[in-house]
């Protein structure tokens, strides 16, 4: 027993740390048995099985490597679609953007890449048209040129879809589009050059040369062709109703006396409070939360989000205006990058709890003009007007914006007999149904139609072209500046509103609207930026 026990211990020790030594067999007797087991048979068995295990392990490692490699390939091919189907998969550390508006609430991947869906919403809205019987027909003998005052690519990217929609070559009214450059930022210039190179038959670049900074007067120097209607469009126009340009052109022809005819701007102090009175503005407020409560998604409809939580409404005593901290309501803190505005309710009284309503109450009996300055500066008022437009588009109630009435003007008062001739030929035709005379008050020059001969006669245009074209020249020539309220367009922001508006999700919403409603399947638009923090 003692010898057998000792041999067994020796065998276990050897197998535990030195079982594969080459001199093992030489140090042991050939037919030695331990606990009844033949030593030589045991060693052959152990060595054979260890070798087999080594081979099996090697195969397993190779199989794992192949599996991981295939998985990486499959993920790389499909990761765009995976992000579309699972928008909750955020980048782990989404950086805070350096510039407001340079992040997206869409489900882009970690590198900012996004593949637009070619599938249209099943409940796509069909926007109501107020075209004359038989549809819009482009006037004969008049050239129509769109002038895009250009400086920023992020809005022109999807404005391109509206320009394409309105080209005469595509059934619209516009013969040519000129980009009047007013920037020296290479990023934006490179984008424009690339865009125009792909549309060179109809798109052209006009360099601003000496026009820099806040000076816009000399941009007009080349806009002097006779028998031409120019439609000046700012680069941050984010919505153009399909009727807007045809309606504006026919009004420009039907009423030769006014010096210029503007579209009906959504986000303008003057027209904004007219919209407020006629029921086009809705009770929206910025999301009260401090971080996103919804995943990244491509969406434009206000109904996709829940209503504003009643528990977060401020306690406002409407009858005691002193209890309201107006600046905090009209210039509220911005909660987070990419936040939406939420509808309080459809009750018109709740409009008074919104930024526009509170600014209106604060004006009291001072008159509507006392509210214009804050409406021009407030990013919240600008945003509320645009979310209201989105709701009106979703509800297909664009006619809520139509105010004004037919206007009588002196006959034959124009610098060109051609304009008078076209007006006579257009008698009884469309245009000028619901006009608003600004009565020489300053109005915004974001979207306006003028005859080339009228611009030529008025040159040089002052550096503040807006004041000159909407006030100074109309007074001098005794020819008013009017608004065609049936020509509805959306405007993103004025200078004081830029940062606040760009921290909302409005750019994403307007891009989503354009993709669904305006852009062709071959011209779908994607964000330029990475995802906003928290989405």
CA distances from 516 to 125, 296, 350 (A): 9, 17, 31
Same domain, 53 and 162: no
pLDDT on residue 425: 80
Same domain, 154 and 77: no
Assess whether the previous peptide bond of 235 is cis (omega < 30° from 0). Answer: no
Cα dihedral: 397, 399, 400, 402 (round 10): 160
Same domain, 45 and 146: no
> Is residue 505 assigned to a domain?
yes
pLDDT on residue 3: 42
Helix (H, G, I), strand (E, B) or coil at 440: coil
List 237's β-bridge partners, or say none: 491
> Is residue 1 assigned to a domain?
no
> Is residue 11 assigned to a domain?
no
Same domain, 140 and 268: yes
Q: Report the first-to-last Cα separation within the chain, whole angstroms.
A: 75
Q: In angstroms, rounded to a whole number, what is the distance separating the alpha carbons of residues 190 and 419?
A: 39
Angle at Cα 458 formed by Cα 456 and Cα 463, nearest 5°? 110
> Is residue 121 assigned to a domain?
yes
pLDDT on residue 94: 66
State which residues of the chain have pLDDT below 50: 1-32, 34, 42, 77-90
What is residue 319's DSSP assignment?
Answer: T
Domain of 57 in residue numbering reads as: 37-84
Number of domains composing the chain: 2
Same domain, 419 and 475: yes
What does the chain come to in residues? 535
Helix (H, G, I), strand (E, B) or coil at 89: coil
Same domain, 234 and 288: yes
Q: In angstroms, rounded to a whole number, what is the distance separating the alpha carbons of residues 213 and 182?
A: 8
How many Cβ atoms are within 10 Å of 84's Cβ, its own excluded?
17
Q: Which of 84, 118, 147 is the last residue before a domain boundary?
A: 84
> Is residue 10 assigned to a domain?
no
Same domain, 54 and 99: no
> Is residue 3 assigned to a domain?
no
Same domain, 412 and 318: yes
pLDDT on residue 2: 43
Same domain, 477 and 378: yes
Same domain, 52 and 127: no
Sign of the Cα pseudo-torsion (80, 84, 90, 94, in order)? positive
Assess whether the previous peptide bond of 460 is cis (omega < 30° from 0). Answer: yes
Q: Which of 69, 84, 99 is the last residue before a domain boundary?
A: 84
Same domain, 75 and 107: no
Q: Are 284 and 342 a contacting pair, CB within 8 Å?
A: yes
pLDDT on residue 48: 59
Indicate whether this model's pTM tops 0.95.
no
Q: In angstroms, rounded to a whole number, what is the distance separating the alpha carbons of residues 180 and 196?
A: 12
- Give backbone dihedrals phi and psi of 178, rounded to 5 degrees, phi first: -115, 130
> Is residue 25 assigned to a domain?
no
Same domain, 64 and 111: no
Q: Which of 488, 399, 516 is nearest to 125 (CA)?
A: 516
Q: Which of 84, 112, 144 is the last residue before a domain boundary?
A: 84
Q: Are 94 and 532 a contacting pair, CB within 8 Å?
A: yes
pLDDT on residue 23: 39
pLDDT on residue 272: 95
pLDDT on residue 1: 44
> Is residue 8 assigned to a domain?
no
């Amino acid at each position: 027993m003692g010898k057998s026990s000792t041999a067994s211990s020796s065998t276990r020790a050897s197998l535990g740390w030195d079982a594969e030594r080459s001199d093992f067999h030489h140090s042991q007797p050939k037919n030695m048995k331990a606990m009844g087991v033949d030593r030589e048979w045991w060693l052959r068995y152990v060595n054979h099985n260890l070798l087999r295990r080594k081979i099996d392990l090697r195969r397993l490692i190779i199989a794992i490597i192949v599996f991981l490699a295939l998985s990486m390939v499959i993920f790389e091919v499909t990761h765009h679609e995976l992000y579309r189907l699972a928008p909750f998969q955020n980048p782990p550390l989404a950086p805070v953007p350096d510039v407001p508006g340079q992040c997206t609430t869409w489900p882009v991947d970690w590198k900012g890449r996004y593949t637009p869906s070619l599938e249209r919403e099943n409940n796509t809205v069909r926007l109501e048209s107020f075209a004359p019987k038989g549809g819009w027909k482009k006037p004969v003998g008049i050239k129509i040129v769109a002038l895009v005052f250009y400086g920023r690519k992020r809005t022109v990217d999807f404005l391109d879809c509206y320009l394409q929609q309105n080209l005469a070559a595509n059934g619209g009214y516009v013969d040519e589009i000129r980009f009047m450059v007013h920037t020296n930022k290479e990023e934006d210039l490179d984008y424009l050059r690339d865009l125009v190179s792909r549309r060179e038959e109809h798109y052209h670049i006009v360099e601003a040369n000496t026009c820099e900074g806040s000076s816009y007067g000399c941009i007009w120097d080349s806009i002097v062709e006779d028998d031409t209607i120019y439609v000046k469009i700012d680069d941050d126009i984010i919505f153009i109703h399909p009727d807007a340009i045809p309606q504006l052109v026919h009004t420009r022809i039907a009423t030769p006396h006014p010096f210029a005819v503007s579209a009906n701007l959504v986000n303008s102090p003057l027209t904004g409070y007219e919209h407020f009175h006629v029921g086009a503005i809705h009770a929206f407020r910025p999301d009260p939360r401090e971080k996103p409560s919804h995943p990244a998604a491509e969406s434009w409809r206000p109904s996709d989000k829940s209503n504003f939580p009643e528990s977060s409404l401020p306690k406002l005593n409407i009858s005691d205006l002193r209890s309201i901290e107006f600046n905090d309501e009209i210039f509220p803190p911005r909660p987070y990058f990419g936040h939406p505005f939420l509808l309080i309710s459809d009750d018109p009284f709740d409009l008074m709890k919104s930024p526009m309503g509170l600014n209106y109450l604060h004006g009291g009996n001072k008159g509507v003009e006392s509210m214009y300055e804050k409406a021009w500066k407030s990013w919240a008022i600008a945003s509320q007007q645009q979310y209201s437009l989105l709701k009106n588009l979703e509800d297909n109630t664009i006619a809520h914006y139509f105010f004004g009435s037919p206007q009588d003007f002196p006959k034959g008062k124009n610098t060109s007999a051609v304009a008078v001739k076209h007006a006579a030929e257009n008698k009884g035709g469309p245009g000028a149904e619901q006009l608003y005379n600004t009565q020489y008050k300053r109005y915004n020059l974001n979207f306006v139609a003028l005859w080339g001969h009228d611009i030529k006669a008025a040159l040089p245009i002052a550096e503040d072209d807006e004041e000159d074209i909407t006030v100074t020249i109309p007074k001098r020539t005794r020819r008013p500046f009017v608004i065609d309220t049936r020509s509805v367009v959306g405007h993103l922001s004025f200078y004081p509103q830029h940062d606040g508006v760009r921290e909302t999700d409005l750019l994403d919403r307007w891009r989503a609207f354009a993709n669904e409603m305006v852009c062709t399947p071959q011209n779908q638009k994607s964000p330029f930026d990475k995802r906003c923090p928290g989405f």
